[in-house]
Structure 1
Amino acid sequence: MQVTETLNDGLKRGYAIKVTAAELEDKVTQKLKEAQPDIAMKGFRKGKVPLSLLKKQYGPRLLGEAMQESIDGALQGHLEQSGDRPAMQPEVKMANDDWKEGDDVDVTVAYETLPQVPDVDFSTIEIERLTVEPDDAAVDDALKSLAESAQSFEDRKKGSKAKDGDQVVIDFVGKVDGEPFEGGAAEDYPLVLGSNSFIPGFEDGLVGVKEGEEKDVTVTFPENYQAQHLAGKEAVFSCTVKAVKAPKAAEIDDDLAKQFGADDLEALKGQIRERLVTEYAGASRAVAKRTLLDRLDEAVSFELPPSLVDAEANQIAHQLWHEEHPDHHGHDHEKIEPTDEHRKLAERRVKLGLLLADVGQKAEVKVTDSELTQAILTQARQYRGQERQFFEYVQQNAAARQQIQAPIFEDKVVDHIFENAKVSEKSVTKDELQAAVEKLEEE
């Protein structure tokens, strides 16, 4: 077996692999000898079938296996010897398309190798971590939000017009082309105007109604409505207003605290303070992480595999296109060409991804089984009623497990770098932290 280098240009590699006919013949014969003791054939005792007969019976299939194993073995041996790590699956092609049994096998192999990532002295990187202590005002604001979420509604004065935020209690019947449709009617339905819980335009049509009033509201179902037979159709809802109610925030007292599982108001304040500490810490870490990645992006420079950059740029362009066209869920659209901006972002992501992977490998950062299992269980809770199916799917799908494991690994590598970098703390207000977070979202 011969492996000859045909290309060595930057990260691009090319090789010609020749597997001789004699090598294939020997491999097939070896496979037949290994299987011979367990083979029985009419006219021969088990294990006594001649090799010549076995070769005639099983030779063609075993020849294909021997060819694949020889090529795979040669490629694997080359990668181990050279230390190359292909950026993507190597492209393997038969060079002699007119190959027939008895000929040597000529194969071409092409790939891009991952680059050598330079070491970074993390002690030279300076990061400022923003810290916020939740004050009484922040706790009070959170309490007000809880009280609003626990609001009740009380009847407005008879004859009052319904306002945005009010609750109207209605009977309604919806019709398309003059005919009622399934699911289009209800009695004593409590609807909060402005909640956007109904078809667009329906709630707006009830602003200004009074108790006892009857009103027809005309709306058009969205083109992407889940019930396809109604999508894009105009409907008329005949509504009878039975009550108009104004929102009333809950009192901030021990009763409110008990609604949220606390013993009393002071205990609820303590829970809120703890939650705010966690929220502020998460926001602060996000800002510090972005600063760190910016520093690393500036600190290192190395050649990037074009195939990885192209794949990432295409993925970014495709994702952004769908964000701009939320009603288009399929992939039957025109080809999306990445822009220079997409490619610039792709280069940053690929560079930082390779750098963090290299740092994690050298630092022997590992994601434990318990950490991965906990992350899978957390995601499974998002699929109510199907938690078990999701868990089993991930357990059986290596790609899905890798998708969940990757961000855990990245965060552990980032923590490792933080431990070795110069990290100082700066006390800021909640608004200053919020501004820093919003700036991240804009970039």
Structure 2
Amino acid sequence: MQVTETLNDGLKRGYKITLTAAELDEKVTAKLLEAQPEIEMKGFRKGKVPMAMLRKTYGDRVMGDAMQEAIDGAMSDHFETAGVRPAMQPKVEMEGGEAWKPGDDVIVTVSYEALPEIPEVDLSGLKLERLVVKAGEAEIDEALANLAKTAQNFEKRRKGSKAKEGDQVVIDFEGFVDGVAFEGGKGEDYPLVLGSGSFIPGFEDQLVGAKEEEEVDVKVTFPEQYGAAHLAGKEALFKCTVKEVRGAKEAEIDDELAKKFGAEDLAALKAQIAERLEAEFKGAARAVLKRGLLDQLDGKVKFDLPPSLVEAEANSIAHQLWHEEHPEEHGHNHGSIEPTEEHKTLAERRVRLGLLLAELGRKQEIEVTDAEFTQAVLNQARQYPGQERAFFEFVQQNAQMQQQLRAPIFEDKVVDYVVNGAEVTEKEVSKEELQKAIEALDEM
């Protein structure tokens, strides 16, 4: 087998791999001889099927396998010998394509972009600041008040009271489109909190001011992206009967509230809240610290970047930002989204830092353990209640998903390694100051 270099321009590489017909036939014969002892065919004892018969029956399939193994082996040997790692999956094309026939040489062209040599980076002199926020009484009391709101009860208001935003109205309703009742549009004794946004836009607003025993016609238009296609974009009339108007009453902040949230008493609940708040503050402060670290690393090294990686990252950034600006669009039928120069600049930074962190991790032999990966899968699976098993099976069969779960763990471990060797000072700040620092990250 012959491997000939056809392109060596910057990070771009090209090769032609030639597998002669004789070499391929030799590999096919070897595979058939290896399988012969286990093959049975009518009229022949196990292991006694003639080679000619084996070639006729299995030759084409074995030839495809032998061809693939030979090409894969040649590429693997090339990468190992040359000490090169491709930035993305190499493009492999067979000359002749469908016109190729047995007896012809197999000629394959391989093209790819190599990962660049990452220069040594001087990690000495890194100075970082870690923001520290303590969970004080004010923060704990605020969290308790929010918990009390979620645990609020509703009490019936006196007859004749007008429903206001934040009240709960108990209604019977039935929906009509073009004068015809539609399936799923009817409900009885439904407790609806006005302003909760749990019904289609405009529905709750028209019940503000309604009274007990009052009948209200609510006219709305279903959103264009509504889940039920037969209702999407259509005007509807809901005939509603208000059976009760209830006012919100926040739960008392006491031991009974604590027990509702699984704590022994109010003091235990406060301790749990303080612990949770400080964990949240710590996570936010880590994001600020990490950004500071990446900013410093970004200025320490420069090297050529694989254009394909930069292009893929720029497209990903443009696509993500477009969806953030158009939250109503949930699908991908929105046509092409062209990255801007700003997207490309950000992509270059991300690719450069990603390659640098990967190289630092490789040299330090940092790896994601099985336990860490399993925990990441568990955390992700919790987002799909009742479908956890299906998610686990999906991850097991999807190498790309496995990489997506491993990548952030690996990056965090490399960041921890670098931070541990840096000079880190702590600065105690308020919750508001930490929030401003987090918001500033999005502006950069």
TM over 0.5: yes
Instruction: Report the CA distance shift for 1:341/1:20 in structure 2 as closer, same or farther (over 3 A).
Output: same
* Structure 1 residue 31: Cα displacement: 2.9
Instruction: Report the CA distance shift for 1:226/1:103 in structure 2 as closer, same or farther (over 3 A).
Output: closer
* 1:434 alignment partner AA: Q
* 2:385 alignment partner AA: R
Q: Equivalent residue of 1:196, what SS?
A: coil
State the partner residue of 2:139. 138
In 1: Cα distance, 2:42 partner to 2:170 partner: 85
In 1: Cα distance, 2:31 partner to 2:379 partner: 48
Instruction: Report the CA distance shift for 1:382/1:64 in structure 2 as closer, same or farther (over 3 A).
Output: closer
* Structure 1 residue 11: Cα displacement: 0.6
State the partner residue of 1:277. 278
Within 5 A, what are the aligned runs for 1:308-327? 308-327=309-328
* Structure 1 residue 58: Cα displacement: 4.5
State the partner residue of 1:291. 292
Structure 1, unpaired ranges of 5+? none
State the partner residue of 1:22. 22
Residue by residue, what CA displacement relative to the aligned partner does 1:184-215 show, whole Å, maximum 9, x if unpaired? 22232221111001111011101122223222
State the partner residue of 2:213. 212
* Structure 1 residue 223: Cα displacement: 1.3
Q: Equivalent residue of 2:195, what SS?
A: coil
State the partner residue of 1:371. 372
State the partner residue of 2:357. 356
Greater CA drift, 155-164 or 264-273:
155-164
Q: Equivalent residue of 2:338, what SS?
A: coil
* Structure 1 residue 354: Cα displacement: 1.1
* Structure 1 residue 154: Cα displacement: 2.5
Within 5 A, what are the aligned runs for 1:95-244? 95=95, 99-244=100-245
- TM-score, length of structure 2 as denominator length: 0.93
* Contact in 1 for aligned 2:122/2:300 (Cα 8 Å): no
Q: Equivalent residue of 1:107, what SS?
A: strand
* 2:91 alignment partner AA: E
In 1: Cα distance, 2:242 partner to 2:193 partner: 13
Q: Equivalent residue of 2:8, what SS?
A: strand
In 1: Cα distance, 2:386 partner to 2:40 partner: 52
Q: Equivalent residue of 1:13, what SS?
A: strand
* 1:391 alignment partner AA: F
* Structure 1 residue 272: Cα displacement: 1.1
* Structure 1 residue 183: Cα displacement: 2.4
Residue by residue, what CA displacement relative to the aligned partner does 1:243-302 show, whole Å, maximum 9, x if unpaired? 222222222122222221222221211111111111111111111112212222222211
In 2: Cα distance, 1:240 partner to 1:224 partner: 28
1:420 aligns with 2:421: yes
State the partner residue of 1:78. 78
Q: Equivalent residue of 2:170, what SS?
A: strand
Residue by residue, what CA displacement relative to the aligned partner does 1:292-321 show, whole Å, maximum 9, x if unpaired? 122222222111111111112222222333
In 2: Cα distance, 1:36 partner to 1:14 partner: 38
Residue by residue, what CA displacement relative to the aligned partner does 1:366-421 show, whole Å, maximum 9, x if unpaired? 21111111221122122111122222322333222222122111111111111111
* Structure 1 residue 61: Cα displacement: 4.2
Q: Equivalent residue of 1:299, what SS?
A: coil
Q: Equivalent residue of 2:368, what SS?
A: coil
Identity %: 67
Instruction: Report the CA distance shift for 1:282/1:54 in structure 2 as closer, same or farther (over 3 A).
Output: closer
Q: Equivalent residue of 2:124, what SS?
A: helix
State the partner residue of 2:66. 66
Q: Equivalent residue of 1:124, what SS?
A: coil
* 2:316 alignment partner AA: Q
* 1:431 alignment partner AA: E
* Contact in 1 for aligned 2:221/2:236 (Cα 8 Å): yes
In 1: Cα distance, 2:269 partner to 2:47 partner: 79
Structure 2, unpaired ranges of 5+? none
Q: Equivalent residue of 1:399, what SS?
A: helix
Within 5 A, what are the aligned runs for 1:381-420? 381-420=382-421
Residue by residue, what CA displacement relative to the aligned partner does 1:89-141 show, whole Å, maximum 9, x if unpaired? 21222345665444433322211111111222223221111001111111111
In 1: Cα distance, 2:40 partner to 2:191 partner: 78
* 1:435 alignment partner AA: K
State the partner residue of 1:8. 8
Greater CA drift, 355-364 or 169-178:
169-178
In 1: Cα distance, 2:262 partner to 2:40 partner: 73
State the partner residue of 1:93. 93
In 2: Cα distance, 1:60 partner to 1:370 partner: 44
* Structure 1 residue 24: Cα displacement: 2.5
In 2: Cα distance, 1:43 partner to 1:167 partner: 83
Aligned residues: 443
In 1: Cα distance, 2:43 partner to 2:233 partner: 74
Instruction: Report the CA distance shift for 1:161/1:13 in structure 2 as closer, same or farther (over 3 A).
Output: same
Residue by residue, what CA displacement relative to the aligned partner does 1:66-108 show, whole Å, maximum 9, x if unpaired? 3333222222111110011011121222345665444433322
In 2: Cα distance, 1:103 partner to 1:199 partner: 66
In 2: Cα distance, 1:111 partner to 1:101 partner: 28
Instruction: Report the CA distance shift for 1:296/1:241 in structure 2 as closer, same or farther (over 3 A).
Output: same
Q: Equivalent residue of 2:277, what SS?
A: helix
State the partner residue of 2:247. 246
In 2: Cα distance, 1:250 partner to 1:126 partner: 48
Q: Equivalent residue of 1:123, what SS?
A: coil
- TM-score, length of structure 1 as denominator length: 0.93
State the partner residue of 2:303. 302
Please give the root-mean-square deviation of Cα atoms over the aligned residues, in Å.
Answer: 2.2
